[in-house]
Amino acid sequence: MKQAPLLLSCAIVATTTVGSAADVQTEDFIFESFMFEQLYPLASDGERLLVEDPWPGVVHLAVFSPEGHLGDDWLPDSIIKIPPDEPGCDSWLEKAELSGDHAALLLWDDDQESYSTRLFFYGQEPAGHWDDVMSVTNTNTLPSQYEMTNMELEGLELVVAFANQDTNAADSGALVVYHADGNNWSNEYTLEIPAPEEPSVDIGGGNWMRFSSGFSVKISGDTMIVTESATYVQDMTYTWLYYPIVHTYHHDANGMWQLQHSMRFQPSCAAEMMMDKGDVWVDLDFKGNRMVLLRHQECTSQDYPWQTSEAVREYSWNEGAMNWSMINDPFNMPAAHQVTMLDAERVVLQHADEGTHEFRLENGTWSKTLTYEPSNSELALDRLVATDSILFASTSIENNDLDSGPVLGFELDGGENGADIDGDGIVGVNDVLSLIAAWGSDSDAADINGDGIVDVNDLLVLLQAFEG
C-alpha cells in the first residue's frame, strides 16, 4: 500500500472478474483512511473526487485527483476543514457538490438549543488549494430567517432549496438560483415552490394541518426535479401522513427555471384503514426524458399490523402533456434503497439484501447485465456516486455496526452509444462530424452523456476519448 500525503491514502488492486465479464465486476481501485474508519464519497466530476473523513463535530473533506489514467494512483491534492460555527456546537455535512473549479458545501450546526445552516462556496486556485470565497448563514431562532435544506451544483449554476421562505410561510418553500462569474457568486433570482394540496383521503373527519417541509434537488441538463417532503396531521384523529411531492422544472428560452409539473405520492393504504401513520419516501434519478423512481411505503394502525411495500418504477416525460407517464415495475427486482442512472439506458439499483445491479434498456426491455461486488466478501456497498466513467461506492463491514470500510472505485463500461458514434471502433473525425450534425437535438447516438441533448458536454467527452 502506498502512503499518500495528508490524512488519506490510495492503494491499487488488480481488477477481478468472476464468471463472464457481463456477470460480476469487482473494484478497480481503493481509497482508505488512516485516521478514521469512515470515508464517504460525496461528489465527483470525473476528474476529482470529494470525500468526507468525519472528525468529531467538524466537517473535514479531502479532494482526490488521479496522477494519470484510471488504475493509476489517486492522491489527495487538498484538504477542506470547516470548524463549528461556535465553540460547543456540532457541525455535520448535509450535502457537497463539485463542478470544475467550484465546490458548494451545505452544513448544519447544532448547539443543543437551536440549529442553523451554513452554505459555503469554494473555488480552486491555480496552485491547487481551495479557498472559501463566499458563505451564506441562516438560523431558525429568528422569525426573519429560514432553513436551507438541500442544493445542487451544475456547471456555473447552483440551486438552493429553502424551507419556509415565501409568502405562504410554513406552507411552502423557495428555490434560490446562484450563478458564478469566476469566483464571484451572485443571487440571480428566486422561485416560490407552490404549496401542495391537502391530502385527498378522509380518515375520521377533521382538518389537515401542515408542517414545514424539506426539499432535495437534482439537475440533469435542462431538467430539474425538486422532491418535497410534506407532513400532515389530522386534528381530530391525530393521524400522521408523510409523503413526497415531485416538482419538475425545465429551463425556458432565457435559461430560467419554470415549473412544468407536480405529482404527489400519498400512502395507498390511507383509505383502507384507520391509520395512525402513513409514510412514503422516494429515491429517484433521471436522464433526458426518462426517470427511475423507488417508492417505499409504511403504514401502521391499532387494528392492522405494520404494512410495508416497495416498488421500482420507470417514468417517461410526455412533452405534449407536460407530465410524467408511469410504466409499471419493469425491473423485476423486489426492492431497492438507492437509484443511480448512469445514462438514459443504464440504471444501477442497490439493495441491502439483493445487492447492487446494473440494468440496461435493450429493445424496450430492461435486463440485469452486471452485478457490482467488493473483492473482500466482508464488505457491502453503501452510498454510490457515479461519473461518466467511474462508479464510486462507500462500504460497510458485515456484522459490524460501528466501522465503515474503504471507498471502492469501479470502471464503467460506456456501452454501445459512447464516443464512437459511428461504431467503427475508432473515436475520430467522423464521430466529431456526426456530433456536430446532431447538435442541439436529442439524438441517442450523439447524446454521449445521456442527458437528453447533444451539446458541449458531449463534445468534451468525445474529445477526451479522441484517437484521431
Task: At 342, list the grid cell.
Answer: 448512469
Q: Where are the domains of the chain?
A: 419-468
- Give the CATH fold of the 419-468 domain: Type 1 dockerin domain (1.10.1330)
In the block, cell 443571487 appears at 187
User: What was the pLDDT predicted at 333?
Assistant: 66
User: What was the pLDDT predicted at 334?
Assistant: 62
Q: In degrees rounded to 5, what are phi and psi of residue 219? A: -130, 135
User: What was the pLDDT predicted at 324?
Assistant: 95
Average pLDDT for runs of 10 along the chain of length 468 = 27 30 75 60 81 69 63 66 70 86 86 75 82 75 62 93 61 85 89 82 74 85 92 80 92 94 82 68 91 87 70 90 86 78 90 85 85 90 87 82 76 68 75 91 80 86 79
User: What was the pLDDT predicted at 2?
Assistant: 27
Contact 55, 38 (CB under 8 A): no
- How much is the pTM? 0.79
Query: Which of 215, 357, 349 shows the shortest CA–CA distance to 292?
Result: 349
User: What was the pLDDT predicted at 251?
Assistant: 93
